[in-house]
Amino acid sequence: MRNERWMVVGEFGPLCVAVEPGAERVAAAVDLIAALHTRAACHPLLPDVRRSSGDLGLPYFTANVRDAVAALETLAASGLETPPEHAGVPARLLERLSALLADVPRRALAFERAAGPDTLLHGDLWTSNVFVADTAQGLRARFVDWDRVGVGPFSYDLSTFLFRYPPAERPPILARYRDALARAGWHLSSLRDLEILFDTAERARYANRVIWPARALLRERADWGFPELAEVERWFQALDQAAASGGGDLGKAASIPA
C-alpha cells in the first residue's frame, strides 16, 4: 500500500486533501466517494469482499462494542491496578460501552430506515488518503491505502471523511454528497437518522480502539495500555460534547439510497 501511495504522488503530486483542502478539491473528493458508493451498491462481488474483508455496517458496531466490553470486564476481574493518573478510566469506559450495547436496537431501526443497500467501502477515508490533481479534464480525485476495504452502508466512509472537518464545515460537504447521489437517483433519509448512522460508525471505531490496549494490559502489562484507554475516553467525551453543543448537526440532509 505504501508503493500505491508513492505511485499516486508521482502521478498527481504530493498534495492530498488533508494538505490542500480547497473547496473545489474537497468537492472532487466527495464526488468520487459518491461514485464509489453508487456504482458498487449491490454489486455481485460484494459477498466475496465481505467474506475476505468484513462487514463495516451495524455488525461492525455490535462486534466491536461487545469485544470491548468483554476485554474491559476481564481487565476489571484481573486485579491489575490502574495508575492514579488514569484512575476510573476502565470503569467509565465499561459503563459507556455497556450503554452503547443496550442502545443497539434503537440504532438498528435507524439502519433499517436510512442505511440503504450495502456497497463497497474504502474503509479508511481520512483526508490524507484522498489525492486530487489538476488535469487537462479538470480536477481528478484518487483514493490510496485500500487495506481496510470492506462492505457496508455508505455512512461508514462518509462519516470518516466528514469527521475530519470541524462541525461548521460539514453541511456543505454533506450537501455535495447529496447532490452527487441525487444524480444517480438516490434519495436521503432524515437528518436525525443520518446523524445516528454517522455516530454509530464513529463510536464503532472508538470501541475498536479500546480492545487492543485492554488486551495488551492483560497479556503483557503494556505501559501504553492505560494512557491509550484514557485517550479513547477523551475521544468519546469530545464526541459527546460536540453533539450536546449542536456540533452533531450536519445541516439539511440530502441523499441516501431508497
User: For the chain, what is the domain count?
Assistant: 1
Residue with cell 487495506: 147
The gap from C-alpha 146 to its chain's centroid, in whole angstroms, comes to 14
pLDDT at 251: 42
Residue 109 forms part of a structural domain: yes
62: in domain: yes
Asked whether residue 256 is domain-assigned, the answer is no
- Residue 194, C-beta contacts closer than 8 angstroms, at least 6 positions apart: 114, 155, 174, 188, 250, 253, 256
Asked if the structure places residue 250 within a domain, the reply is no
Tell me, yes or no, whether 66 lies in a domain: yes
pLDDT attached to residue 11: 55
Cα of first residue to Cα of last residue in the chain, in angstroms, is 34
CATH, residue 135: 3.90.1200.10
| pLDDT given for residue 8 in this prediction | 47
Identify whether 93 is part of a domain: yes
Q: What pLDDT, on the 0 to 100 scale, is given for residue 246?
A: 63
Q: Is residue 251 part of a domain?
A: no
Q: Tell me the pLDDT of the chain (258 aa) as tens digits.
A: 444 444 445 555 557 887 777 899 999 999 999 999 999 999 999 999 999 999 999 999 999 999 999 999 999 999 999 999 999 999 999 999 999 999 999 999 999 999 999 999 999 999 999 999 888 888 999 999 999 999 999 999 999 999 999 989 999 999 999 999 999 999 888 899 999 999 999 999 999 999 999 999 999 999 999 999 999 999 999 999 988 876 554 543 333 443
- What is the distance of C-alpha 221 from the center of its chain? 29
pLDDT of residue 250: 57
pTM equals 0.88
Any domain includes 252: no
- Residue 88, Ramachandran bin (φ over 0: left; ψ between -120 and 50: alpha; else beta): left
Residue 13: per-residue pLDDT: 57
* Residue-wise pLDDT tens digits, 117-175: 999 999 999 999 999 988 888 899 999 999 999 999 999 999 999 999 998 999 999 99
Q: What range does the domain containing 193 cover?
A: 2-244
Please give the pLDDT value at position 189: 87
